[in-house]
Amino acid sequence: MTATSVPRMRGPGIFLAQFLGDAPPFDTLENLARWASGLGYVGVQIPCDPRLIDLRQAAESQSYCDDLVGMLARHDIAITELSTHLQGQLVAVHPAYDALFDGFAPPEVHGRPAERQLWAVEQVKLAARASANLGLTAHATFSGALAWPYVYPWPQRPAGLVEEAFAELARRWLPILDVFADAGVDCAFEVHAGEDVHDGATWERFLDAVGGHPRARLLFDPSHFVLQQLDYLDFIDRYHDRISCFHVKDAEFNPTGRSGVYGGYQNWVDRAGRFRSLGDGHVDFTPIFSKLAQYGYDGWAVLEWECALKRSEDGAAEGAPFIRDHIIQLTDHPFDDFAASGIDRASIRAILGLPEGER
């Protein structure tokens, strides 16, 4: 294996969604890029928010995308992925959440679930084409949820409810996945509470429902595994061949006799499971980075900052060196090459007590 063929994780990157605001340096993509670069980041994951990117223009104009990439390059920043978490959520919404999720869509489709869904589907398809024009290979999104209100089987779920929910989810996503296939871009679903794809079992259901579509992929974020009490290392072992995106995000879980996984309707500070800045939670990142390196993950390591306690600016400043120090650059030769004997095949056969010349 030559040095150039060794898979290499890229980073550190930072997801901009939690930092976007009205005041500098968080108000424009260029200001955010300058800020992120100053903290040591080399990539940004861009939510498809009109304040940051004109999604339709990016999908239709190569020159617009070239200008965008060039502007970021002047600040030594690359695009890691685009994100349609909010739009992906709206591809499938249970009626119980209609009013709450209207805020993810433009006002003209509020109160009109069918029109809102069509808008969301078109947005994700545009993001696939925009990603291709930007030279990206993966995209981050949510699956949406039809079955989530029934996650705990009480009252007993009617036979066939889950199966029909996933069949419908697949019907909605298959045409979108085909657009990603045409664009040559992976569509990576974040395994996340509140989504129908929220653990390994539901991922398998979804993947089966879409016929193992080659562009149906995963965004791995270990913080959600801590809050659900799932084994995030075993998940990598099982599904590493489908992981295309990686959110580096921490969380902690401190259950008591009063509160556990479900959280007791408490705010984030008081919940047993809560998100934390990198290094402040319970996620053991060293074996995560090791496993991803072992399996040849060559995507981006992207900070997603959320914390119940720490200031966002402090979490961002700490995130770049944390990720940089955890990325493993794979060796291009065995560590014990220094002790190689260099003997030929005839000598090897002699060592094994085998006659010469046989094959």
Of residues 29 and 336, more confidence is placed in: 29
Q: Report how far apart, in Å, the C-alpha atoms of 139 and of each of 68, 206, 215, 329 are.
A: 17, 18, 10, 24
Q: What is the pLDDT of residue 257?
A: 97
358 assigned to some structural domain = no
Q: What is the pLDDT of residue 3?
A: 42
Residue 167 lies in domain:
3-351
357 assigned to some structural domain = no
Q: Mean pLDDT in the chain?
A: 95
CA distance 165 to 159: 12
- The single-letter DSSP state of residue 108 is G
Tell me how many domains the chain contains. Answer: 1
CA distance 300 to 328: 12
Lowest mean pLDDT among 7-11, 68-72, 255-259, 315-319: 7-11
Q: What is the pLDDT of residue 71?
A: 98
pLDDT by residue (tens digit) across 90-139?
Answer: 999 999 999 999 999 999 999 999 999 999 999 999 999 999 999 999 99
CA distance 44 to 42: 7
Q: What is the pLDDT of residue 194?
A: 97
| Neighbour-count burial for 283-313, b at 16+ CB within 10 Å, e otherwise | bebeebbebbbeeebebbbbbbbbbbebeee
> Sorting pLDDT into bands at 50, 70 and 90, what band is 48?
very high
347 assigned to some structural domain = yes
- Which whole number is the average pLDDT over 266-288? 98
- Which whole number is the average pLDDT over 241-270? 97
> Which residue in 75, 88, 81 sits closest to 300, CA to CA?
81
On the question of pLDDT at 354 being above 90, the answer is yes
Q: What is the pLDDT of residue 44?
A: 98
Q: What is the pLDDT of residue 343?
A: 86
126 assigned to some structural domain = yes
356 assigned to some structural domain = no
On the question of pLDDT at 1 being above 50, the answer is no
On the question of pLDDT at 338 being above 60, the answer is no
359 assigned to some structural domain = no
Q: What is the pLDDT of residue 219?
A: 98
**What global pTM score does this model have?**
0.93
25 assigned to some structural domain = yes
Q: Give the CATH number for residue 215.
A: 3.20.20.150
Give me the phi and psi of 251, to 5 degrees please: -160, 165
Of residues 11 and 338, more confidence is placed in: 11
Locate 194 and state its tokens: 């509140």
- Which whole number is the average pLDDT over 34-39? 98
On the question of pLDDT at 87 being above 80, the answer is yes
> Sorting pLDDT into bands at 50, 70 and 90, what band is 5?
low
Q: What is the pLDDT of residue 2?
A: 41
